[in-house]
Amino acid sequence: MKKQLLLLLTLLLSASFPVFAASDEVGVYILIFFVSIIGIAIFFLPTIIAFKRSHRNRWIIFLLNIFGATIILWIIALVWSLNKIDDPVKGGKQIDGQPGDRVL
């Protein structure tokens, strides 16, 4: 069954990528590896954004991202990581920052 799925995947990829036209299984494994890495990066995008922006709730966003493996909670975590909650223009309170805090 595994060989049949691998053969089917190779045949599907051979139409789009001529590199996989031969029955080279290593190429398929490399493609699966890179697609998996990109998928993991997209899944952890809210956490990556929160840590890059030094969001003060970044650990909560990280936990929500890990334990809330649904699309709705992922969107909530993404919006929350992009939100600047201590911005007085958006209705938040002005909080004096610590030395070394990032502005963005």
Domain residue ranges in the chain: 1-9+23-41, 44-93
Identify the pLDDT of residue 25: 78
Identify the pLDDT of residue 47: 92
Contact 78, 45 (CB under 8 A): yes
Identify the pLDDT of residue 21: 47
User: For 102, how many CA atoms within 13 A lie in the half-sphere containing its CB?
Assistant: 10
Of 46, 43, 40, 42, residue with least CA distance to 79: 46
Identify the pLDDT of residue 90: 55
pTM: 0.56
Place of tokens 């190429």: 27
Q: Please, what are the averages of pLDDT over each run of 10 residues along the chain (104 residues)?
A: 62 54 71 89 91 86 84 88 67 57 58
